[in-house]
């Protein structure tokens, strides 16, 4: 029988925060791990709990609800002081709420290309601010690296994974929500959520722009994974297929298509989508609902404006499974817990330290239109 680490809300406290730090996890990740392994009492968190929409209720919302804090329902009229600084409340739930809400908001950009679409792996770094990049390249003694018929005694074609001289610095990013102490404590949760949403979405756009830049330019002047491009004519299905063929050369299978706003928009003028005579099921849905249909099996997502794609006349075909690597500092909280647990607050600071690397060319290929 699994021993419960959290039997009551009071068990979610500073001791658990210290345990998270010892395990090189964020506070939220530690609670998530305990929930997934059945170490939190079912009255607080249940992995099978679903909301009115039928979707699973996030762990942090279940924890807050068990503590009497409702950020979506009838009790959202609570002020921050009423919700998180009552006599029987543990103030650690306030920074926990901010951190997890902020992360959830960043994953809710509908029809928008997001940072999570472009990053396939997050690697923690502790005690260092420069990451060495593992790179994938073909053996210089072999012309193509493809598996093939090998004569007896001959060498097998080889793809090398090596730690070269490529490095990525971890840089600090973030922003502040600032108000008087009275305003911040007495603001009601719906309005505070609105402010937090603005900050989270701006940071998501910043991270997505940076990821696009790394895909197109690599992670440094001597990058081993420069962009590859299939130059096309006018926008057409045939030209997009060129991009898919190029991606296949690198073992990639793009499932997302995005690009320069002008070129991206012309995709939806293609006869297969815009012609009233088109029998394509997605065309009718596009006209009736505005829902962007799949294009050759790829989800069309709008890139942020501005970005490196602006004015490039490029479409970008993305394989999320071959995405960028994000190196991050796991010991650095998204928010300052000790500061936010004090009533002497007038600022909410969001900050993280990370760096992006492009280890190979499979993450994305472009098609440049004349």
List pLDDT tens digits, range 84-129.
888 777 889 988 998 888 888 876 666 789 888 999 988 877 656 5
Q: Which of 105, 26, 108, 40 is nearest to 49 (CA)?
A: 40
Say yes or no to pLDDT of 138 above 50.
no
Tens-place pLDDT, residues 208-218: 999 999 999 88
How far are the Cα atoms of 241, 270, 310, 312, 314 from residue 237, in angstroms, in the given order? 6, 8, 21, 19, 14
The pLDDT assigned to 314 comes to 92
Residue 162 has pLDDT above 70, yes or no: no
Q: For the residues 174-186, what does the mean pLDDT come to?
A: 74
Residues 188-209, mean pLDDT to the nearest whole number = 86
Which carries the bigger pLDDT value, residue 365 or residue 152?
365
- Separation CA 124–CA 101 (nearest Å): 21
From CA 159, how far away is CA 62, in angstroms rounded? 47
190, 349 Cβ separation under 8 angstroms: no
Q: Are 141 and 320 in contact (CB under 8 A)?
A: no
Give the DSSP H or E segment for 264: helix 261-266
- Mean pLDDT over 179-194 rounds to 80
The bridge status of strand 324-328 relative to strand 119-124 is parallel
Q: Mean pLDDT highest for which of 97-111, 142-156, 199-213, 290-304?
A: 199-213
pLDDT above 60 for 44: yes
Closest CA to 87 of 264, 258, 343: 343
Span 178-207, average pLDDT: 82
What's the confidence (pLDDT) of residue 156?
52
Give the three-state DSSP class for 22: helix
Neighbours of 357 (CB within 10 A): 25
Rounded Cα distance between 211 and 118, Å, is 7
């Amino acid at each position: 029988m699994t021993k419960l680490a959290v039997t009551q809300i009071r068990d979610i406290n500073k001791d658990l925060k210290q345990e998270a730090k010892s395990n090189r996890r964020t506070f939220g990740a530690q609670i998530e791990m305990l929930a997934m392994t059945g170490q939190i009492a079912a009255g607080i968190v249940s992995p099978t709990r679903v909301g009115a929409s039928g979707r699973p209720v996030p762990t942090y919302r279940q924890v807050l609800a068990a503590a009497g804090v409702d950020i979506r329902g009838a009790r959202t009229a609570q002020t921050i002081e009423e919700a998180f600084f009552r006599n029987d409340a543990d103030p650690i739930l306030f920074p926990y709420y901010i951190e997890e809400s902020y992360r959830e908001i960043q994953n809710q950009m509908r029809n928008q290309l997001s940072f999570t679409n472009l990053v396939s792996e997050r690697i923690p770094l502790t005690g260092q601010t420069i990451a060495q990049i593992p790179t994938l390249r073909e053996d210089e003694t072999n012309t193509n690296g493809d598996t093939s018929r090998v004569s007896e005694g001959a060498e097998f074609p080889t793809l090398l994974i090596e730690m070269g001289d490529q490095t990525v610095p971890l840089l600090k990013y973030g922003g502040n929500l600032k108000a008087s102490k009275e305003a911040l404590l007495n603001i009601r949760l719906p309005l505070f959520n609105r402010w937090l949403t603005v900050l989270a979405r701006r940071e998501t756009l910043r991270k997505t722009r940076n990821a696009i830049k790394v895909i197109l330019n690599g992670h440094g002047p001597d990058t081993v994974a420069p962009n590859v491009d299939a130059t096309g004519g006018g926008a057409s299905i045939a030209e997009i297929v060129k991009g898919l063929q190029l991606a296949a050369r690198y073992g990639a299978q793009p499932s997302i298509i995005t690009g320069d706003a002008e070129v991206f928009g012309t995709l939806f003028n293609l006869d297969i989508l815009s012609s009233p005579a088109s029998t394509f099921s997605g065309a009718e849905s596009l006209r009736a609902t505005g829902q962007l249909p799949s294009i050759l099996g790829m989800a069309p997502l709008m890139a942020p404006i501005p970005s490196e794609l602006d004015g490039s006349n490029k479409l970008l075909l993305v394989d999320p499974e071959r995405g960028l690597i994000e190196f991050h500092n796991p010991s650095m909280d998204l928010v300052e817990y000790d500061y936010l647990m004090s009533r002497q607050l007038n600022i909410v600071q969001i900050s993280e330290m990370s760096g992006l690397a492009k280890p190979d060319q499979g993450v994305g290929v472009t098609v440049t239109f004349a």
